Amino acid sequence: MQWNKVTISTTIYAQDLISAMLYDMDIYGVEVVNNIPLTEEEKEAMFIDILPELDESDTSAKVIFYLENDQDIVKTIKEVQLGLINLRESGIDIGSGKIILDITKDEDWANNWKKYFKAFRVADDIVIKPTWLDTIEGVDVKPSDIVIEIDPDMAFGTGSHETTRLAISGIRKYLTKGQSVLDLGSGSGILAIISKKLGASKITATDIDGNAVLTARENASVNGIKEDDINFIHGDVLNKEECKELDQLIGLESYDIVVANILTEVIINLSDIVGKYLKDKGYFISTGILQSKADRVKKALESNNFDIVEMETMGDWVSFVARKNN
């Protein structure tokens, strides 16, 4: 099988924003190539004595993704071009923004990234381990640590991205054992699985991508979680045609915490409806929000009867913890 490889020439300043833009277009499995030097911790985890010399002054980057032959390639590339124009007009240094289309054979490109995904500590007491590794190397695992095994496949959520870390931070701070959690946009299932390991009693996880739901179920099973411990649901709570049936499956006013690691515009839309799933004084933990758009999210939350409890930042990203107030 052949794939269409799309390469965007950009900068390190825009690479995360472009990746987020592609994710918003339902394009997953994005690869980023740049000359950012590895940290000492990353070098130790790779067990390599000699690394290639990098030009630290080189701020160029490439964002790469793949399209199947049956996808509308021309339409997709036009949408990407429009997105790049919007970023440039917003004052983001996207570099040349040149797009190159190549055809590549299916030589397991979707799994090539796995050689770079190593075990790592995502929180003080939580370690993420790829399912395909037999042992944990490069991380000093303590007996008290929670070890989560993850294979994201084509779903979002290895735990390494700032937005996932922010969501995990919020869950660890505000989840009390025995409480209920709803994960909207569950991706690989990492947040739902961590919630279960931290003591949540009732967990529901939804995603608009059916493949992500399957991946999340598999990850839950790998981590020793019983099938009925997490209710994984395929559907879009923002879809007016689907929401009535989904509300019955999810349950109204049933959750102590709702968490959503998605994107700014989706969070703003969710703020209109997410309160119906929360118990009185329940928490809505939202991230995937760019710092430049944080004020819009804050305004949307407050206008929908939420009190902002905490705002946390990491890199270009922001998370809000908001309490339902009604």
117, pLDDT greater than 80: no
Contact 319, 267 (CB under 8 A): no
Contact 205, 214 (CB under 8 A): no
Contact 274, 320 (CB under 8 A): no
Q: What are phi and psi of 318, to 5 degrees?
A: -130, 145
Three-state DSSP state, 313: strand
The encoded tokens of residue 218 equal: 């598999």
Three-state DSSP state, 122: strand
84, pLDDT greater than 60: yes
Q: Over the chain, what is the mean pLDDT?
A: 85
285, pLDDT greater than 50: yes
Q: How far from 313 is each of 16, 39, 43, 229, 318, CA to CA, in Å?
A: 15, 21, 26, 31, 4
Across 18-24, average pLDDT:
90
Q: How far apart are CA 71 and CA 73, in angstroms?
A: 6
| pLDDT score for 54 | 46
First to last CA, the chain: 55
| pLDDT score for 144 | 87
Strand partners, 318: 289, 313
Domain ranges of the chain: 2-108, 117-324
**Buried-state track 64-98, b at ≥16 Cβ within 10 A, e below 16:** bbbbeeeeeeeebbeebeebbeebeeeebebbebe
Task: For the chain, give the percent of residues with pLDDT over 70.
Answer: 85
The Cα angle at residue 51 between residues 94 and 38, in degrees rounded to 5 = 45
Q: How far apart are CA 5 and CA 225, in angstroms?
A: 37
Among 291, 286, 289, which Cα is nearest to 275's?
286
Count the neighbouring beta carbons within 10 Å of the beta carbon of residue 303: 10
Among 226, 169, 166, which Cα is nearest to 198's?
169
- Is the model more confident about 115 or about 100? 100
- Is the model more confident about 208 or about 41? 208
Question: pLDDT digits over 157-207, tens only?
Answer: 566 688 888 999 999 999 999 999 999 999 889 999 999 999 999 999 999
The two beta strands, 120-123 and 126-130, are antiparallel
| pLDDT score for 52 | 43
Report the topology of domain 2-108: Alpha-Beta Plaits (3.30.70)
37, pLDDT greater than 60: no
111, pLDDT greater than 70: no
Question: pLDDT digits over 213-257, tens only?
Answer: 998 999 999 999 998 999 999 999 999 889 889 999 999 999 999
112, pLDDT greater than 70: no
Across 35-44, average pLDDT:
53
pLDDT range class, residue 151, cuts 50, 70, 90 = confident
Across 110-138, average pLDDT:
76
Domain range 117-324, its CATH number among 3.40.190.10, 2.70.70.10, 3.40.50.150, 3.40.50.970: 3.40.50.150
Is this structure's pTM higher than 0.85? no
The contacts found for 268-274 with CB under 8 angstroms, 24 or more apart, are 268/296, 268/297, 268/300, 269/238, 270/184, 270/237, 270/238, 271/297, 271/300, 271/301, 271/303, 271/304, 271/306, 272/300, 272/304, 273/237, 273/238, 273/243, 274/184
